[in-house]
Every structure is written in structure tokens, then in C-alpha cells.
Structure 1
Amino acid sequence: MGLLEIAIIALVVAVIAGALGFSGVAAGAAAVARIVFGLFLIIAVILFVMLLLGVNLAF
């Protein structure tokens, strides 16, 4: 199972738990979802800056 799949599962669990009230597992799932969101946001910003600087991102 890849990191993206785990992130999507954590997001779904956090949304469902949030709808039912944050407690126990819901708080943990929300924390994981926030961390994963932050990581993806940082990676997106870095890639955008690299693109603006003209770095070739093709592997």
C-alpha cells in the first residue's frame, strides 16, 4: 500500500469521524490528515518553485 493510498484512507476516516464528533480515533486520524496535508503542501510549493526556476523535472 503506497503513501498516497494511506493518506486518502486517513483523510476519509478523519472526515467521517469529524462528522460524528472528534474523539479518540477521530482526533488521531485528524492529526494524521493534517500532517499528510502539510507534507503534500510543502512538496507542491517546492516543485512549483523549481518549475519557476526552470529546473527540468522530467526523470
Structure 2
Amino acid sequence: MISTSAKSRKVPGLRTLVLFTLATIVIVRTGASIFLPKVDAKVLNAWVENKVETKASSLP
């Protein structure tokens, strides 16, 4: 596995793709933990649950 990691650093396209993927993961994880003012988490959770129930009940 270490040799595969070393080889991936030598391939410019693969290195760029791996760095982009890692950056995207960091951005998403950071964005998920940011507090949004004036957004009530209880109301948001209730809305999501309602959407899930609606979709589940419409399945054949």
C-alpha cells in the first residue's frame, strides 16, 4: 500500500485528483459543522422527516 501511495504521487493527474478529493471532503465536513444563525434545528429535522415519510409512503 505504501508503494501504491508513492506511485500515485508521481502521476500528476492522479495526484491532482486525490488532492481535490481530500479538499472536497475537508470542505464538506467543515461546512456541516458550521452553525447557521436563525435556523431552528428542530424545524429542519421535522421538515426532513416529513419529506422522508412522504417519499416512503409514495413508493409502490
TM-score (norm 1): 0.46
Give 1 or 2 for the bigger CA radius of gyration. Answer: 2
TM-score (norm 2): 0.45
